[in-house]
């Protein structure tokens, strides 16, 4: 269990209405916490992660003699 800190954030009206409709007015804080954890904590790098590629996308770049 994590300790909670009380803070004030300012949301655009459309963002607030979307969150309120999606999770309910009493769960907005929990949803924002989940979004922030997903964005900041679970990323492997602060510069983003390379998109996954398939081996079929690779070409053979060896010189032909």
Each residue's pLDDT tens digit, 16-59: 999 999 999 999 999 999 988 888 877 655 556 666 666 665 66
pLDDT at 54: 65
**CB of 23 closer than 8 Å to CB of 30:** yes
pTM of the model: 0.58
d(CA 34, CA 44): 17
Q: What is the pLDDT of residue 12?
A: 95
- What pLDDT score does 18 carry? 95
pLDDT at position 47, please? Answer: 57
CB 16 within 8 A of CB 24: no
Contact 43, 49 (CB under 8 A): yes
Pairs from 57-63 (Cβ < 8 Å, separation ≥ 24): none
């Amino acid at each position: 269990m994590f300790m909670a800190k009380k803070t004030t954030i300012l949301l655009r009206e459309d963002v607030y209405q979307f969150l309120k409709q999606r999770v309910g007015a009493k769960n907005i804080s929990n949803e924002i916490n989940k979004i922030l954890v997903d964005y900041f904590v679970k990323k492997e790098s602060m510069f983003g992660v390379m998109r996954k590629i398939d081996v079929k996308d690779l070409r053979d770049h060896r010189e032909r003699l």
